[in-house]
Amino acid sequence: MQDVAASVNVKGIRDPDWKPYSAMLKGVKRFEEKHGLAPGAQLRFILEPRRADVDMHAISLRLESDEAAMAIPLGERNIFTLPVEQGPLYEKAELSVNRKAGSVRWIPYVRSAASSDTIRRLGDLRLACEVHWAIDKDTLPFAMRTAMGALGGPCNFVSKKGTYSFSEPRRITAATISYNGKSAPVPFSGSSFTPPLREQDWSDDSVVELTFDNEQAAVITSPAASPACAPAYADAYRAGGPFPRY
């Protein structure tokens, strides 16, 4: 689990931020199972700072086990593709970055061609949520994980009290969803917006259009995606995942 001291050192970082490779592969599997939500998208991940004071320049990402290691290239905005099918040498591997534990968020990045700087496709968001839940759900205590599953999981809450929000690096001033001539406002607050993931009357091809305050960047203290099914749970998850333990 991410708040347990990592067993590797990364370029002199005694306690680096890390993720179990096995957990990330669960996200890859879920992406393949639910790829119909966003058939034109590929699965990538993005590393984002948990706090505004985290330096995201010159980030180094590695996949390491006791037997082997490899560097993983990072693209613009620290977006990367997870290597898969690496064989038995990496069965117990960890992904680690040269930043202190608790500094970085590991977020699914799912974007179809319909997406842009201000447009988010609903099917992409639904799929990103599914991947995120698959990666992080095992960090929850059994009772909470079972309860969340009984409610449909954060991407398909049967109760309207359960929501799943996405955050942007800039403050949002307006958010609207539209499809086939129909439109509706999307709840937002600060840099976060809450699309109607569970509402099946909105097609996967629906688009969420965001308007940003270009004069003021958001202070990054919330995750790129956060479920909120109860106040305590939501507050903990906004720390950036993985899912909290109680």
Q: What is the pLDDT of residues 183-234, one digit of tens each?
A: 999 999 999 999 999 999 999 999 999 999 987 655 444 444 544 433 333 3
Which segment of 59-63, 147-151, 190-194 scores lowest on mean pLDDT? 147-151
Tokens 């409610």 correspond to 151
Residue 13 pLDDT: 66
The one-letter amino acid code at 188 reads F
Taking Cα atoms as reference points, which of 117, 126, 128 lies closest to residue 210?
117
Taking Cα atoms as reference points, which of 88, 89, 85, 94 lies closest to residue 64?
94
Give tens-digit pLDDT for 112-137: 998 999 999 999 999 999 999 999 99
pTM above 0.85, yes or no: no
Reported as a pLDDT band with limits 50, 70 and 90, residue 237 is very low
Residue 239 pLDDT: 32
Q: Structural domain boundaries of the chain?
A: 16-212
Residue 83 pLDDT: 96
Distance between CA 234 and CA 60 in Å, rounded?
A: 30
Q: How long, in residues, is the chain?
A: 246
Give tens-digit pLDDT for 86-103: 999 999 999 999 999 999
Q: Sign of torsion, CA 126 132 135 138?
A: negative
Tell me the three state secondary structure of residue 134.
Answer: helix
Residue 12 pLDDT: 53
**Contact 22/84 with Cβ under 8 angstroms?**
no
Residue 146 pLDDT: 87
Tell me the three state secondary structure of residue 95.
Answer: strand
Give tens-digit pLDDT for 156-188: 886 676 788 998 989 999 999 999 999 999 999
